[in-house]
Structure 1
């Protein structure tokens, strides 16, 4: 009887992940990633400096300070932004760096794992912005037929 190493068992478990199954842990990850603040934080970590509404944000990812993220993400509360950043850090998608200055400087940056998700998130954000008029028109048509 052949024995399997812990690494082999982990690899086998990874191969068996299926988000369509109710007990699969990848469902919780998808649930977290689908959160609007998670999507916006991951999309916001960029380098082009375009923080104005409607500006093209196609730059490479870069680190950002908490205050930059807070200003960029209109409507996010301090509590929600803090919770979102902590959960992303816990999952290894971002790193938090504290620089002992006066006042203390804290920056957030995508990890390699976060970078692997960054382009997909940016594509999702771009799709939503590009097709919003179509969706609004379809909603109005639907609502007029149902009413």
Structure 2
């Protein structure tokens, strides 16, 4: 899991760097000094690098959640609307039933996915993104664009 999590973190970081120019002009205090701001390597520049803010624990928690194997794919296929278990399975074909069930339960516990029991005959269950899950759409789409451009 260690390699998978760090690779995911690199992917999300790269996707966030590929945002619009307006996003990239955020104040340096938010991200710590860059090499361009501190000039060539010098004792002062090295000291400035040490003064950077540590990685935000909430950011790390989000990367670990979304970076779990298959979680991003499940969120991606649920973005257009609700799906039943078998439909998610069909859209993410290499995902096992056991792991799909596990990930859906985790996403439900996090408030990202809602499980709805439909009173049809026969009864059906469908899964849909909550508002919290739909808020991930720009991040997931940016990561998808980055993957198509760079992988």
Bin for the TM-score computed over the shorter chain: 0.5 to 0.7
In structure 2, which of residues 64, 69, 79 is the aligned counterpart of residue 36 of structure 1?
69
Quote the Cα distance in structure 2 between the aligned partners of 1:105 and 1:19: 46
DSSP 3-state at the match of 1:95? strand
CA 1:26–1:97: 2 relative to 1, 3 Å: same
More helix by share: 2
1:71 equivalent to 2:90? Answer yes
Q: CA deviation at 1:82?
A: 0.4
Superposed CA RMSD: 2.1
CA 1:83–1:121: 2 relative to 1, 3 Å: same
Contact 1:45/1:64 (<8 A) preserved: yes
Contact 1:38/1:84 (<8 A) preserved: yes
Q: CA deviation at 1:122?
A: 2.0
TM-score by length of 1: 0.59
Structure 2 segments unaligned to the other structure (5+ residues): 1-52
1:86 equivalent to 2:121? Answer no
How many pairs were matched up? 99
Contact 1:19/1:26 (<8 A) preserved: no
* Off by >3 Å, runs of 4+ in structure 1: 24-29
CA 1:19–1:38: 2 relative to 1, 3 Å: farther
CA 1:116–1:83: 2 relative to 1, 3 Å: same
Quote the Cα distance in structure 2 between the aligned partners of 1:103 and 1:95: 20
In structure 1, which of residues 58, 62, 78 is the aligned counterpart of residue 81 of structure 2?
62
1:20 equivalent to 2:55? Answer yes
TM-score by length of 2: 0.58
